[in-house]
Amino acid sequence: MVVDLQLAPKQKRSPGEPCCEPVAYPEIERSQAERMSAVAKALGDPIRMQLVDVLRKNAGRVCVCELVPLFDLSQPTISHHLKVLREAGIVGSEREGLWAYYFVHADSLDELRRWLA
């Protein structure tokens, strides 16, 4: 992912014939694409998708100890997926004694939602 994402058209039509109408893009902002694709990437795993769904359906926060047994995966793996979601800004966590609780950051999905609408 070390690519220079310049979006300016680089060359006009080749010598050939008109393949297309003189379509009129430049388009989306590159930084917006990067933010939204980062969120989409975090959601791009079925386990993480289900984790977010559980957290969303349980409006409050949910204890990790309730999350782990929902899947046929080891505890470190679930912890890893939660970390990915946390680093994407989709969820947040708070510790409380022995337990850790996760919750969805409500606004984290807004930009993607708007783009999809």
Partner DNA sequence: CTCTTGGATCGATGGTCGTCGATCTACAAC
Partner DNA sequence: GTTGTAGATCGACGACCATCGATCCAAGAG
* Residues 41-100 contacting DNA, CB under 7 A: 41, 44-45, 47-48, 63-65, 68, 72-84, 93, 97-100
Contact flag: residue 94 with a copy of itself (CB under 8 A): no
Distance between start and end Cα atoms, the chain: 27
Cα distances from 77 to residues 4, 22, 29, 100, 115, in angstroms, run 33, 50, 34, 16, 31
25: left (phi over 0), alpha (psi -120 to 50) or beta: beta
Selected from 15, 30, 80, 91, the binder of a copy of itself by CB under 8 A is: 30
Does 26 engage in binding with DNA (CB under 7 A)? no
Nearest in space to 84 (alpha carbons), one of 31, 32, 44: 44
- Which one, 99 or 115, has the nearer CB to DNA? 99
**How are strands ordered across the β-sheet holding 91-96?**
62-63, 99-104, 91-96
Residue 111, contacted partner among DNA, a copy of itself, none, CB below 5-8 A by kind: none
Q: Which residues bind a copy of itself (CB under 8 A)?
A: 1, 3-7, 9-11, 13-14, 16, 19-20, 23-28, 30, 33-34, 36-38, 40-50, 53-54, 57-58, 62-63, 65-66, 69-73, 98-99, 101, 109, 112-113, 115-117
